[in-house]
Amino acid sequence: MRERVTSILLGIVLAGLAVSYGGLFYSVRAVRIARDTQRASELQEARVLAQYNAAIAKQEREASSTILFTGDVMLSRGVKSAIVRHNNDATFPFSLIASSTRPSDILIGNLEGPISDHGEDWGNPISFRANPNVVDGLLSAGFDVLSLANNHIMDWGRTALADTAAILESAGMSIVGAGRNEAEANEPLVINAKGGRVAILSYTNLLPKSFEAKGDMPGTSHFDLAGIADAIRAAKGGADIVVVLMHWGEEYRAHSTAAQREMGHALIDAGASLVVGTHPHVAEEVEQYNNGWIAYSLGNFVFDQNFSEATNKGEMLEVRIAHNAIDSVRTRPIFINGNFQPDEVRL
């Protein structure tokens, strides 16, 4: 009898333990399921957030543009000889840099001298004129806009200037800072870019007034600081961002002059968002002034001045525009090799 009672009690105890263990098992399993469910939910939320951020970033990219500015582009003299030595391939000067310039949405440079088979040498001690085939090189680099307001564009007279304008435009590139008549030379170039409407003006203070366009006579834009301020304000009425290209300063000087700074500040005060300078053949500083930016000189881009390290160095200026304003500005250094080919310096 006692043995039977003991057996019954043992069975009851074992049954209780089984129930407890089963409950514990199912409780642990429930916790694991809940934890796994929470992890899955968190992963899903992370995926959704990542997709959302990617979509926003894509929208930002699609609603913005990158404008890339280069320094002086001179395709005559030693550069012309280098092209001839390399099977007359006009893309040769740009073959190393094209992978850096072509991805930009808008590429803008200063064309140092006319492109033409015509004209008459006006007697500049240093006179440039490039063969029309150099257009292939400019296109290979991806140039969209070329400024003609500089101290060499009139080296072969008004005929060569008019020819340059026609050659570039027939190739699909825009010009600014000079033209076949007074109106064309002084009108802003307006670009409807992603991220904002951009107006571009271009001037030089390094030529006599007689070289300026007048009436139907080809020439450069009018350089007059008060008039430029008026042009900036007028352009601002039809654009979100006004860019002024200035061919100015002193050659081989690594820092801006007081005159450059005074003028640059005046242009920003008049409403320009960005001033980009060329001519000194060496890079100068970039300044953020009030609500705008001033790159005093980008130096050389394609040039045959391999007599110093400073003239072999230059900069590209990358400007991102978004939400109808300049979003960011950064310089990208270049180095020009012995064949007068620029290449980006990877930092």
The string of pLDDT tens digits covering residues 87-119 is 999 999 999 999 999 999 999 999 999 999 999
Distances (CA, A) of 66 to 139, 245, 298, 313: 18, 17, 17, 22
Residue 285 DSSP one-character state? -
Kindly give the confidence (pLDDT) of every residue in the chain, 347 residues in length, as a single tens digit, with 9 standing for 90 and above: 555 545 544 454 444 544 454 554 455 565 566 677 777 777 777 776 766 665 554 554 468 999 999 999 999 999 999 999 999 999 999 999 999 999 999 999 999 999 999 999 999 999 999 999 999 999 999 999 999 999 999 999 999 999 999 999 999 999 999 999 999 999 999 999 999 999 999 999 999 999 999 999 999 999 999 999 999 999 999 999 999 999 999 999 999 999 999 999 999 999 999 999 999 999 999 999 999 999 999 999 999 999 999 999 999 999 999 999 999 999 999 999 999 999 999 87
Domain boundaries of the chain, sorted by first residue: 1-62, 65-344
Six token digits for residue 114: 């006319």
The string of pLDDT tens digits covering residues 160-201 is 999 999 999 999 999 999 999 999 999 999 999 999 999 999
Scanning the structure block, which residue is given the tokens 């006579």? 217
Closest to 88 (Cα-Cα) out of 104, 75, 105, 69: 75
Q: What is the arrangement of strands in the sheet containing 292-295, beginning at the earlier edge strand?
A: 189-193, 196-204, 241-247, 274-278, 292-295, 286-289
Superfamily of domain 65-344 in the CATH hierarchy: Metallo-dependent phosphatases (3.60.21.10)
Task: Report whether 186 contacts 229 (CB < 8 A).
Answer: no
Q: How far apart are CA 172 and CA 259, in angstroms?
A: 36
Task: Report whether 148 contacts 187 (CB < 8 A).
Answer: no
How are the residues of the chain apportioned to helix, strand and coil, as percentages rounded to the nearest 5? Answer: 40, 30, 35
> What value, to the nearest 5°, has the Cα angle with vertex 182 and ends 179 and 251?
60
CB atoms within 10 A of CB 187: 15
- pTM of the predicted model as reported, rounded to 2 decimal places: 0.84
